[in-house]
Amino acid sequence: QVQLVESGGGLVQAGGSLRLSCAASGRTFSRSAMGWFRQAPGKEREFVAVIGWNGGSTNYADSVKGRFAISRDNAKNTVYLRMNSLKPEDTAVYYCAGSQAFGNIYRMTDNYWGQGTQVTVSS
């Protein structure tokens, strides 16, 4: 069974930074694509960033390009999301995601999910 636990969320002023962490347990972590999604109040969950199993391939939503950076440390079974220049529209619950075997991380029904961590950006 795969478990994902997010941490690092909080309240920050616009222009500030946060780093989210996702601690994963599971035998196949190092060979799975990982990512971050977010869900704001009243809106659907949306893609934020993904990283390939070896850390060499990343992809970002247009709304966060140049501001967010995803990384992973397979030795620590941890994925990170560094968020800079935060905006009020970044306010959401951020969820760590891991693709299931032979799954597509962009197809959200194929993913393992964490409980989420709240990020609130004030103006």
Q: pLDDT tens across 38-93, in order?
A: 999 999 999 999 999 877 899 999 999 999 999 999 888 899 999 999 999 999 99
More reliable by pLDDT, 103 or 62: 62
- Rounded CA separation 33/99 (Å): 6
Query: 85-109 in b/e burial notation, b at 16+ Cβ within 10 A?
Result: ebeeebbbbbbbbbbeeebebeebe
Contacts of 66 (CB under 8 A, 6+ apart): none
What's the half-sphere exposure (Cβ side, CA atoms, 13 Å) at 38?
Answer: 23
Residue 103 has pLDDT above 80, yes or no: yes
